[in-house]
Amino acid sequence: MKKDPSRLMPRKSIVLAASAALTMLPLLAHPHDADARAGGGMSMGSRGSRTYSAPAPSQTAPMGAMPFQRTMTPRQPDAGYGARAPFGAGAASMAMARPRHPFMSGFMGGLIGAGLFGMVFGHGMFGSGMGGSGFLGLLIQLALVFFIVRWAIRRFSGRAAGNTVSSPFSPGAAPVGGGSARGGGQPVGVAITAADYQAFQQALINIQTAWSQQNVAAMQHMATPEMVSYFNNQLSELASRGARNVVSDIRFERGDLVESWRENGMDYATVAMQYSMIDITTDMTGRVIDGDPANRTTVAELWTFVRAAGTGTWLLSAIQQTRH
């Protein structure tokens, strides 16, 4: 008995559809492969007693950070992430609202105010002591004010710039320290220096490089045991699928201090960092299975570092994704 070809076609279509679905299963099971950098695009780690407190917004992360998806810090009964920012964190917004040099503001205000006062009352910009009279005298006084103001701006702007050249982080994006002791005590913030900012930037590059090399031993010297355990699990998961993530050409773009504090003999600093890179995932033969080697990926994350109080090397203790 000859088989009807019209009856075979639906079966063949079903088989092809099933094969296509099976092929797509790995992608459906791992929808975030494009964020396969160290941390895998997740929020993980610990921030000490502030693990369940939302970090303050900053210029680099204006919408704040996502809550932790993985952490070993026990949750306190009254901990509510995002219910309120850490005590005193609102000072970061105040700092961003005052970009001008405080001395220059007072100097310029006094200079201009005194001059206008003299003009209103008929004494010229600086009174009659300068011997100026009439329109010519006024021009001479205005020219003198111009040169004084220009000299002052160059002097103090240059000094401010000189203090921040060595730091790629935005000056004034957040205050030194992240809060005050409860009960009206002294500030408990930790002073973050240009050398610390440089260490944060270098840690970003070194950790991503060790991640790409699957060098867990190297990451043990750069991150806390908790973070190393997460990295190790992610690398093992990739290897079990016959995949490998490679992050290259990492470029730090900008960053700012969100908060810093001291507790239990340890210093903490949370910084927002924006950086770009080539982020691809390959199979074991080197064939690209996810990502684009020709286009850069730009991300902004909050990284928290910890060290022994006042000394020692900063270790990565948390990565948080930013809100959009």
Q: What is the C-alpha separation between 292 and 147, in angstroms, rounded?
A: 54
Top pLDDT among 116 and 280 is at 280
Identify the three-state secondary structure at position 223.
strand
Contacts of 85 (CB under 8 A, 6+ apart): 53, 54, 55, 56
Q: What is the C-alpha separation between 26 and 86, in angstroms, rounded?
A: 41
> Which of 102-111, 165-174, 241-250, 262-271 has the least mean pLDDT?
102-111
From residue 13, give the alpha-carbon distance in Å to each of 5, 7, 23, 205, 236.
13, 11, 15, 49, 37
Residue in the structure block whose two tokens are 């921030």: 47
First to last CA, the chain: 65
Q: Under CATH, which number does the domain 35-74+81-93+169-321 receive?
A: 3.10.450.240
Residue in the structure block whose two tokens are 């009206």: 184
Contacts of 248 (CB under 8 A, 6+ apart): 212, 277, 278
Q: Which of 200, 299, 310, 261 is nearest to 56 (CA)?
A: 261
Are the CB atoms for 303 and 263 separated by under 8 Å?
no
Backbone angles phi, psi at 28, to 5 degrees: -70, -35
pTM given for the model = 0.62
Work out the pLDDT band at 87, boundaries 50, 70, 90.
Answer: very low
Are the CB atoms for 233 and 284 separated by under 8 Å?
no
Q: What is the pLDDT of residue 102?
A: 35
Top pLDDT among 6 and 90 is at 6
Residue in the structure block whose two tokens are 């970090």: 55
Are the CB atoms for 286 and 307 separated by under 8 Å?
no
Mind listing the pLDDT tens digit for each residue in 127-153? 544 444 566 777 777 777 777 766 665
Top pLDDT among 74 and 151 is at 74
The arithmetic mean of pLDDT across residues 75-84, rounded, is 61
Q: What is the pLDDT of residue 12?
A: 52
Q: What is the C-alpha separation between 297 and 47, in angstroms, rounded?
A: 27
| Residues, the chain | 324
Mind listing the pLDDT tens digit for each residue in 98-133? 333 333 444 444 444 445 444 444 555 445 444 445
From residue 50, give the alpha-carbon distance in Å to each of 5, 82, 248, 285.
68, 11, 32, 43
The residue type at 155? R
Q: What is the C-alpha separation between 43 and 320, in angstroms, rounded?
A: 4
Q: What is the pLDDT of residue 177?
A: 37
Q: DSSP E strands: which ranges in the chain?
A: 44-45, 125-128, 243-263, 266-283, 288-290, 297-308, 315-321
Are the CB atoms for 258 and 56 separated by under 8 Å?
yes
Greatest extent of the chain over all pairs of C-alpha atoms, in Å: 123
Q: What is the pLDDT of residue 287?
A: 95
Residue in the structure block whose two tokens are 């924006």: 274
The dihedral formed by the CA atoms of 251, 255, 259 and 261, expressed in degrees to the nearest 10: 40
DSSP state of 46: -
> Please, which residues bridge with residue 306 across strands?
268, 315
Q: What is the pLDDT of residue 58?
A: 94
